[in-house]
Amino acid sequence: MCTGSLTARALVPCNQRPVLIWDVDGTLLAAQSTGRAAMNDAFWACYGIARAFDDLNFAGAHDHDLWAQAIRRHCNAPPAMSPARFFHAYLQHLQRRLNEAPIPALPGVREILCELTAAGYRLVLGTGNIRAGAYLKLGAVGLANYFPHGGFSMPGATRVDILRAALEAVQPHPTCAIVIGDTPRDVHAAHAINLPIIAIATGRFSTTDLAHAGADLVLPSLGHVKRFHELFHELL
């Protein structure tokens, strides 16, 4: 099943293989509650407030913004308050939870990453996770080494900033790139810097949701590896 259509963004001539910018949660790894649970653990440890992240929308969000939302809701803290203590605790709790139950890779992901790397494509991350958190999650299932660079959550950042950082991390600087994500926020961020996006309906959003958001290509999953390659090459 494929929805959406190719757009001008997808057909811009490129003199090299595009860099592929990957989201993590809901795209590469199953969208489980491990990150949310570890954030709740850390907030309790740092501020004595339980379940601070339960009502926050994690879809397409990034870690620093989620922390700031929780602080505003529960702590009445000054704007200059540093998140360093919280994220130090978060990484400890995330590692503990991943040791107990790693977040599984989604169907087809491992095979697709292996084949794309062997074919010479450069893979980078464009994720709302902080850098160390992204690599803990991916490392727990043996996928971290596919992604030497990336754009990650930063204080005051937007999804657009994260994608720009992902591009800037690649040297020599790429002339074209494709984003792979699973939320409308991923779609809107990619289009804000004129990049095509393959949207995968393996998170909380359906193929219809992602098509309506304007994704250039929408797939129900990465589980059909041959079909992914066929459609992916239509974007080149």
Looking at residue 168, what is its pLDDT?
96
Q: Is residue 46 part of a domain?
A: yes
Same domain as 206, residue 190: yes
Same domain as 141, residue 28: yes
Tell me how far apart the alpha carbons of residues 31 and 12 are, in angstroms, rounded to a whole number: 32
Looking at residue 77, what is its pLDDT?
65
Q: Domain boundary at 100, 115, 148, which?
A: 100
Same domain as 218, residue 136: yes
Looking at residue 213, what is its pLDDT?
97
Q: Domain boundary at 80, 100, 120, which?
A: 100
Element (H, E) at 126: strand 123-126
Same domain as 160, residue 88: no
Looking at residue 229, what is its pLDDT?
85
Same domain as 61, residue 26: no
Looking at residue 24, what is its pLDDT?
98
Q: Is residue 209 part of a domain?
A: yes
- How are beta strands 197-200 and 150-151 bridged, if at all? unpaired
Same domain as 88, residue 38: yes
Looking at residue 8, what is its pLDDT?
40
Tens of pLDDT along the chain (236 residues) come to 344 433 445 434 566 789 999 999 999 999 889 999 999 999 999 999 999 999 999 998 999 999 999 999 998 766 567 899 999 999 999 999 999 999 999 999 999 999 999 999 999 999 999 999 999 999 999 999 999 999 999 999 999 999 999 999 998 888 899 999 999 999 999 999 999 999 999 999 999 999 999 999 999 999 989 888 888 787 77
Same domain as 158, residue 42: no
Q: Is residue 123 part of a domain?
A: yes
Same domain as 66, residue 173: no
19: alpha, beta or left, given left = phi > 0 and alpha = psi -120 to 50?
Answer: beta
pTM of the model: 0.92
Q: Is residue 42 part of a domain?
A: yes
Q: Is residue 1 part of a domain?
A: no
Looking at residue 230, what is its pLDDT?
86
Tell me how far apart the alpha carbons of residues 112 and 138 are, in angstroms, rounded to a whole number: 15
Q: Domain boundary at 100, 122, 153, which?
A: 100
Q: Is residue 112 part of a domain?
A: yes
Looking at residue 4, what is its pLDDT?
41
Tokens representing residue 202 in the block: 């393996």
Looking at residue 80, what is its pLDDT?
64
Other Cβ atoms closer than 10 A to 99: 10
131: CATH: 3.40.50.1000
Same domain as 211, residue 118: yes
Tell me how far apart the alpha carbons of residues 124 and 6 are, in angstroms, rounded to a whole number: 23
Instruction: Give me the number of domains the chain comprises.
Output: 2
Same domain as 179, residue 116: yes
**Can you give the residue range of the structural domain that contains 94?**
34-100
Q: Is residue 2 part of a domain?
A: no
The three-state secondary structure class of 4 is coil
Q: Is residue 73 part of a domain?
A: yes
